[in-house]
Amino acid sequence: MITSSFVDKYDRQIRRLLEILPGLITWLLILSPIWLGLIAPKIIIYYITFLTVLWCYMAVKHTVGVFIGYSRHKKEYSIDWAAELDKLDLKSLPEQETLPESMEKFRQFILIPVVNEPYNVLNDSIQSLLNQNFDTKKTVLVYTMEEKYAKEVEERIRSILGDKIKCFDEVLFYTHPAGIVGEAVGVAGANRTWGCKHAVEHLKDTGKNIRNYLFSTIDADHVLDRQFLARVAHLYLTATERDCRFYTTALHLFNNNIWEVPSLMRIEATSVSLGTLSESVVVNPALKDTFANYSVTLQTVVDADFWDVETGIDDTLFFWRAFFKRKGRFLATFHYIPYSADAVQSESYWKSHRSMYKQLLRWGWGAIAIPISLKEFMKNREVPVNIKTLWIYRHIRNKIVLITLVFLMTFGIPIITLVNPLVRQTISVYNLPDTISVLQTMALLMLVPLSVFRGRLTRPIPSDWPFWKKFLILLEGPMVVINLLTFSFLPYVEAQTRMMFGRRMKDLYHTPKVR
């Protein structure tokens, strides 16, 4: 049995071995039509058949998840959550020891990392905060800014707020210094940690009880629905095991600029929106990690020791820090009130594509969570074995199998028959293309209801668009396959390959906001 002392003793070697594994397995699968096509063609044929059936199953499951998730959204959206919040009696709620001292002292602590977002991006986000039906006087805004642009960004924010800065309980500004030794560059983890640590110190120095604060982190382009803060507050206050949950919306929309970006950017954004909506229904809450916009008790942030400042991935690794602090019990708790972010956009058509590739390369570097979590699984005896097993399965499926799935379905059989012409003579290979074609067609039919739901969740197509341009939107459904073979494949493989060869991504790309 591997002991904790053994893992600590050989920490660097074990970490390095685990960093190699995802990229190694991914490349073995990508090249499997060649090497298995030569030595064991039946195995790879059966595997590609299995992938096709899996894809069809997941398409149906995903569509059902979106349907149920959208129904929950419509139901929640019809409720006045500020009124529901006013009805709550803290004395009747569970687990009194983790509740705020009183509703009068309850506060929302909102952390917003900023780099150099333009005025209109910051303005839209701030106006959405001012327009909440949750009492803004119970909201603390914390802006944490990168040193290079801190002065002009703070001036920009203050000019937007004007006299309305008094509408909030507090608005705090912190400047994250550049060049701190050991910190990753280009992501928000180090910036978040700097601002949040200083804000917590400020609260403690002024005699505040951090148990009174529900923490949320949002990006500078996030435009919150007016019910957002009231809903997440109600969700948190009525939950059990408050410290063992993160509270997040199932509706991550990109309506800020959805009709201003090229088609593949729109397809990627829509895939994220529909994917997270579906996951809120079909994924075990114990197997979902944090993404983009989430809330936890402020005590949980402190207990997790904030964010990882060295690795370059913030949201995912915050989840794992809190996960192990809570001994493997850190559950996703969903609501269905949306916020809207910016889809990837740059100054030109081609720069937009390049920018999206760089962003997805950064997301692909999230595979670093695999070696980090697996190493901790080896030494941590407090996390239940069944949870470890389920997470290992999810890592393999999401970070390896699903990344290579469409590539193998599309090119697997032609590559096998190219490297081993004798395979053409087998009945299974002769009939397989037709079988795969039928299953793929069934899966693609699921794009019809998904396109309907996309139309309901995105803001309307601009009325001044010409007919031909509106008609081309209908073709974006089938173009999902192009996206799956390019932006949902190549940057993720590159990130894992870099990790496999020990090329750490410490200077990661910050996606600029351009409208």
Q: What is the pLDDT of residue 508?
A: 65
Task: Name the percent of the chain lying above pLDDT 70.
Answer: 96
Q: What are the pLDDT digits (tens) for 128-157? A: 999 999 999 999 999 999 999 999 999 999
**From CA 420, how far away is CA 423, in angstroms rounded?**
6
Mean pLDDT computed over 67-83: 97
pLDDT recorded at residue 450: 85
What is the average per-residue pLDDT within 8-14?
A: 87
* Banded model confidence at residue 441, pLDDT cuts 50, 70, 90: confident
Is the model's pLDDT at 427 over the cut of 60?
A: no
299-358 per-position pLDDT tens digit: 999 999 999 888 767 778 899 999 999 999 999 999 999 999 999 998 899 999 999 999
Is 504's pLDDT higher than 80?
no
The answer to whether residue 506 scores a pLDDT higher than 90 is: no
33-37, 45-49, 222-226, range with the lowest pLDDT: 45-49
CA nearest neighbour of 144 among 157, 131, 135: 157
> What is the model's pLDDT at position 270?
94
Residue 479 has pLDDT above 90, yes or no: no
What distances in angstroms separate CA 85 from CA 78, 168, 241, one per listed residue?
Answer: 15, 19, 19
Tell me the mean pLDDT in the region 375-389.
94
Ranking 13-17, 154-158, 441-445, 492-496 by mean pLDDT, the lowest is 441-445
Residue 201 has pLDDT above 90, yes or no: yes
What pLDDT is attached to residue 449? 86
3-state SS string for 373-441: HHHHHHHCCCCCHHHHHHHHHHHHHHHHHHHHHHHHHHHHHHHHHHHCHHHHHCHHHHHHHHHHHHHHH
Residue 290: per-residue pLDDT: 95
In angstroms, the first-to-last Cα distance of the chain is 56
User: What does pLDDT average to over the chain?
Assistant: 92
CA dist., res. 437 & res. 459, Å (int):
34
Mean pLDDT value of segment 59-87: 96
Handedness of CA 177, 183, 186, 188 (dihedral sign): negative
What percent of the chain lies above the pLDDT cut of 90? 75
Residue 438 pLDDT exceeds 80: no
Residues 196, 144 contacting (CB under 8 angstroms): yes
Q: What is the pLDDT of residues 205-257, one digit of tens each?
A: 999 999 999 999 999 999 999 999 999 999 999 999 999 999 999 999 999 99
Q: Is the pTM of this model over 0.85?
A: yes
Question: Three-state SS for 314?
Answer: coil
Is pLDDT at 56 greater than 80 in this prediction?
yes
Domain ranges of the chain: 4-68+373-500, 100-247+291-328
State which CATH number among 3.90.1150.10, 3.40.50.300, 3.30.300.20, 3.90.550.10 fits the domain covering 100-247+291-328. 3.90.550.10
Residue 120 confidence (pLDDT):
96
Helix axes 447-457 and 41-77, enclosed angle (nearest 10): 30
Alpha-carbon Rg of the chain, whole angstroms? Answer: 24
Residue 188's pLDDT band (cuts 50, 70, 90):
confident
